[in-house]
C-alpha cells in the first residue's frame, strides 16, 4: 500500500504544483504520508495520507494565511453586470469583477443554455483569487465566487457548463456559486489582519444528522451580494427562488434526491447532492429566499 500512496502523491504534486516541504517532509515516502495524515487529522479530513483535492484546498489556505497579499492583487474591476451567453445582464450590485478562467476547466456551449438550478458551495480558500488559482490547477470550475468584501467574481459565462458539482447531469442543469470562506476558526485572525473583520462563527449546526464543530460563517456583505446574484439569475433564467425543505417545512440539511439527479428547480446547497460534503453549512437558504421574495 505504501508504494501506491507514494505514487499517488507524486502524481498529485506534479498536477497541482505542491512539494513535500509544504507538509514539512523532505521527500516522497513514508514520512510524507505520516505528515499528510497529521495535516488531515487537524482539518477533520479522512487521514489516508493521500493529497487529494480536499487536502490540497486546505493546504493552500494554510499557506496563504502566512502570506502578505500585495495591494495590486486586491484591486478589482467593478461592474454592475454579469455575463450570460456573451451578453451583459444587469445586476443591482456595483461590485462585479469579470475574470474568466482558462479554457479546459469547463464545457463550452454554443447553443443557449437554460439552467434551472443553482448549487452553492464554499471554496475552502482565503480569497476569490486563491480559489481561481486552485480550480485552474485542478482543471475544474465554478461560475461565480463571492469574495470577502462582497465582490462577485465571475469565472465562467453562465451559458457554459462549469465543473463544480461532481455530477454531470447536475453541472448541465445548474449554475455554481462559491462563497470565499476558509471555514476553520483558526483563520479568523487572518481575516482580521487583512482588514475584513471577524467572520460570524456558526455553532451547533447539524448536517447529514451529525453535529458540526464551530466553523466560520459568511460576512453580511457576502449574503447581500448572494441575494442580488440569485435575483439576477431568477430574472434572466427564471430559476425559482425555492430550496429543499423537510417534512416540517424547514431547510433540508441532508441529501435531496431530486437535486442529486439535477431535477430540482431552485437553489440548493452542495450537501444536498452528496453525504460527502457539508458546504454550505450555516447558510440559511430558506430565510434568504424568503427575504428575496418578500422584497
The lowest-confidence range among 54-68, 188-202, 248-262 is 54-68
Residue that wins the pLDDT comparison between 245 and 17: 245
What number is the average pLDDT over the span 8-26? 87
Please give the pLDDT value at position 118: 98
CA-to-CA dists, residue 127 to 118, 134, 214, 231, angstroms: 21, 11, 21, 24
User: What's the confidence (pLDDT) of residue 1?
Assistant: 58
- pLDDT for 67: 67
Q: What mean pLDDT comes out for the span 39-56?
A: 86
Segment 172-187, tens digit of pLDDT: 999 999 999 999 999 9
- Cell 508504494 sits on residue: 3
Read off φ and ψ for residue 168, nearest 5 degrees: -60, -45
Which of the four pLDDT bands, split at 50, 70 and 90, describes residue 82? very high
Classify 127 as helix, strand or coil: coil
The answer to whether residue 71 scores a pLDDT higher than 60 is no
Report which DSSP code applies to 199: P
Of 217, 205, 290, 278, nearest to 249 by C-alpha is 290
Residue 72: pLDDT band by 50, 70, 90 thresholds?
very low
Give me the percent of the chain exceeding a pLDDT of 70: 96
Average pLDDT over residues 257-281: 96
b/e per residue 26-50 (b: at least 16 CB within 10 A): eebeeebbebbbebbeebebebebb
Give the containing element (helix H, strand E) for 220: helix 220-237
Give domain limits for the chain.
2-51, 77-294
How sure is the predictor about 162, in pLDDT bands with cuts at 50, 70 and 90? Answer: very high
Regarding pTM above 0.75, the answer is yes
| Topology of the domain comprising 77-294 | Lysozyme-like (3.40.80)
What is the average pLDDT across 11-35? 87
Average pLDDT over residues 52-77: 71
| pLDDT mean over 164-172 | 94
Amino acid at each position: 500500500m505504501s508504494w501506491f500512496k507514494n505514487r499517488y502523491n507524486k502524481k498529485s504534486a506534479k498536477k497541482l504544483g505542491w512539494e513535500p516541504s509544504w507538509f514539512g517532509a523532505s521527500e516522497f515516502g513514508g514520512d510524507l504520508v505520516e505528515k499528510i495524515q497529521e495535516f488531515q487529522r487537524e482539518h477533520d479530513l479522512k487521514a489516508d495520507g493521500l493529497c487529494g483535492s480536499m487536502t490540497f484546498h486546505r493546504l493552500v489556505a494554510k499557506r496563504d494565511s502566512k502570506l502578505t497579499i500585495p495591494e495590486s492583487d486586491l484591486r478589482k474591476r467593478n461592474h454592475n453586470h454579469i455575463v450570460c451567453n456573451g451578453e451583459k445582464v444587469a445586476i443591482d450590485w456595483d461590485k462585479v469583477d469579470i475574470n474568466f478562467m482558462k479554457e479546459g476547466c469547463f464545457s463550452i456551449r454554443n447553443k443557449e443554455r437554460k439552467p434551472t438550478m443553482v448549487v452553492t458551495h464554499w471554496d475552502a480558500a482565503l480569497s476569490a483569487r486563491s480559489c481561481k488559482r486552485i480550480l485552474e490547477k485542478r482543471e475544474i470550475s465554478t461560475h461565480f465566487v463571492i469574495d470577502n468584501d462582497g465582490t462577485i467574481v465571475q469565472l465562467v459565462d453562465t451559458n457554459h457548463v462549469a465543473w463544480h458539482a461532481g455530477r454531470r447531469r447536475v453541472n448541465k442543469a445548474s449554475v455554481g456559486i462559491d462563497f470565499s470562506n476558509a471555514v476553520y476558526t483558526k483563520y479568523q485572525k487572518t481575516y482580521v489582519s487583512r482588514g475584513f473583520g471577524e467572520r460570524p462563527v456558526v455553532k451547533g449546526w447539524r448536517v447529514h444528522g451529525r453535529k458540526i464543530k464551530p466553523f466560520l460563517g459568511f460576512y453580511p456583505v457576502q449574503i447581500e451580494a448572494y441575494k442580488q446574484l440569485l435575483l439576477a439569475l431568477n430574472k434572466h433564467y427564471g430559476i425559482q427562488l425555492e430550496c429543499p425543505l423537510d417534512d416540517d417545512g424547514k431547510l433540508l440539511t441532508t441529501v435531496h434526491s431530486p437535486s442529486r439527479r439535477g431535477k430540482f428547480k431552485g437553489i440548493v446547497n452542495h450537501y444536498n447532492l452528496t453525504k460527502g460534503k457539508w458546504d454550505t453549512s450555516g447558510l440559511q437558504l430558506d430565510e434568504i429566499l424568503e427575504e428575496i421574495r418578500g422584497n
